[in-house]
Chain A
Amino acid sequence: MRNAYLDQFPDEARVIKAAFWSSFIALAIGGVLGLVQALHRTDVFRFIQSPDYYTVLTAHGVLLVIVFTIFFLVGTFTWAVTTSLDRGVVDTRFTWAWYIMMVIGAALAGITIFSGFLESAPSILGSELNADVLFTFYAPLEAHPFFYIGLVVFVVGSWLAGVDWFRTWLAWRRENPDERIPLPTFMVLTTTLFWYICTLGVSLSILVFLLPWSLGITESVNPLLTRTMFWYFGHAVVYFWLMPAYLMWYTMLPKFSGGKLFSDPLARVVFVLFLLLSTPLGIHHQYLDPGIAEGYKFIAMTNTMFLLLPSLLTAFTVVASMEHGARQRGGEGYLGWLKALPWRDPIFTGMALAGLMFAAAGFSGMINAGMNINYLVHNTWWVVGHFHLTVGTAVALTFMAASYWFIPQLTGKELWNRSVALGQVVLWFIGMTFMTNAMHRSGLFGLPRRTAEPQYQGFDFEPAVGTVGEINMQVALGAVILTLSLALFLLNMVMTSIGSNSESIPDNTYADTLSGAEDSPRILDNLKLWTAIAVVLVIIAYTLPLASIIDAGGLFGPDIEGFRLSTWVDPAVIESLSEVIR
């Protein structure tokens, strides 16, 4: 008897599959836009106008780091909860409801962004439909109300998804009053809790300040306040993307390596640390902001450094579990066991390469976190190099590798081509190497991020090493390889989905542990306690900075109106103006 996820939970499988396809669509569009950006900036091939570059970049950011990642996350988490509790969700109609809500939110935000390409965008609710504000939407740059509404609807959808997981867990708890929370569910619940804490900031920022202001109900905003509220959410969200990848590394990678997870208790400690520390450090994105005293930046820096701990622990556990797996498969020697790992398997290899890139990202991340060194690299391409290693590889590549496991589980069809899949993950690794190496290097000599034409009239960049031209070629080459890899991934997904049913799908299980939950103190499962501590830490880190920002600039700022830059001035006028300035 086949015992794939589809056979266990056919209804849930359908929702999860829908969530994954939503995320693949976002990945496909976002990835192609990434290629457009890479070729445009480096002046290898330009076919859009430079002002439209920022529309492209807004779409790339929102589609990839909001839509792609979070749709994949809700799919993974729903799978993790139902698989590890061995019961379905309480009511699949509710599951469909939050999924559809997220789709509506994403579509609304997406349409608003893409309408920025139109020669004359339609006017709705008294203003033109567009949102050239990038995914950080810093006021006083102003987007159409639909953009903000879309984001809020999407986030509320994800809140309801969290409700769904909690409900399912509580239902299980009634049936199993004395059992420990299974590890995958524990991971889902702790992640959901910090998601609630951090999204509160951005939702309030939108609902109280940005949306009314964009609708013309309020007149002014305090840009530093909305910016700080964004980053209150903005760092935790990076862990939100990362947690499904961690979940896969902890609960699936050991299995794919042929062994067991090294330690369940330590995995719980790691997730508790993320719950505690993900939010009270957002100010580390504002080291360069005026209006925030150095002391608060210092607290954020210290918290950031301590958050290295769970990632270092993860590195240990994952490598130890892989070694255990390899030895089970007959591997020997100090490093010889590496040869015994299943490198032929795209799921294993993809995740292992993703983990490796994440380690590299750890190094550049420590530079970013250093309050003083950050001055050299802040908002340069260094940072873009850094997060293409983290979210663009550690997360995205793990998700793609995981899809090679999930899609057969959800459809009951065998993966179309394993060799193509292996080539695909390796190509992503190679493409990212080229692209991010060049990005990091160019950041060191000050090449700015988020810039359509980083070619200036009055000065040239002076790379310590190599030439700007060579760096540009390396970025373009990397981007082309990545796009090819992306195409192969999508091809494999489509071909698998239209393939025919197979009986030889592996059972839906996750990794066993060497040291199980019974070895960990019960207090680790006390979610109320950890949430309370997390809230206290947030209050400590944020009350004073927020109070001083409000004290200085007022809740609504000193009469700061919005700038809809793309409808603000006639571009032709500006073009001739900048011609004159030159």
Chain B
Amino acid sequence: MATATLPARDAKLYKPEVPPDWCPGCGDYGVLTVLQRACGELGIPNERLMVISGIGCSSNLPGFFRSYGMHSLHGRSLPVATGAKMANHEMTVIACGGDGDGYGIGQGHFIHAMRRNVNLTYIVMDNEIYGLTTGQTSPTSESGMKTKSTPFGNPEGQLNPIALALAAGCGFVGRGFSGDINHLKSLYTQAIQYPGFALIDVFSPCVTFNKQNTFGWFKERVYKLEDKGHDATNWNAAMDRSKEWGAQIPIGLFYKNPNPKPSIDAADPALQGEGLAKAKKLGLTVEQRKKLIQEYV
């Protein structure tokens, strides 16, 4: 997609009339602001953008972003986004949602969307909790964490979305922090320009229901991969870094496939011309019909 060559636009152009209604201080504000700036920097016209979410606090984002959008079902942003991309591959498609949405109920789609390699950007606002349903444990909640559904501590293991994405063949795997806006913006612009499926897991603290993984907690722990000389073209190195969790937690670009195969939409024989949704004449031609009927006589 030739978005990089467009003149930059004002980030305000992506702000709608409706102001976000997240709790004051919610990490998702940063995620939204950065997305508006990144799209401005890339100069993508509003009408060329399709932002698609699932359900959750974080999934309210499309309503607070000026573009075309879908606020779909809990866990289903990725198949919906895949369908949208197939229907008009000329659009820039961004899927987004929460950790529960993407790694819990939608986890099957998550793995397959990466394997399938659709050209879209997936932003997960990872707050290690179910926010909208008022604070139950999530797949990324730490073991032992006390939540409403686990008042005696989370007995289950914690999912590692970075390692999972790498294993599933995702060609662009990044992690950001809503508390570091400029760093996050660069991840977004790279992800949107990447010609395949790009995951950005964003630490986006829930100030209301997650009293454990707070802004302060992350600030103390996160370090940037870029500062440690990490080679993002090295899959094994990325896998090693993905295991780090505790006193030191890496953010930044874990992996970017240096030789990506064409994405599924780029390779699909039906998607070689203009977007399918633009077709004016529908239905089989006389020749196509005759040829098909010939198979059955």
Chain A complexes with chain B: no
Which residue numbers of B lie inside 8 Å of A, CB to CB? none
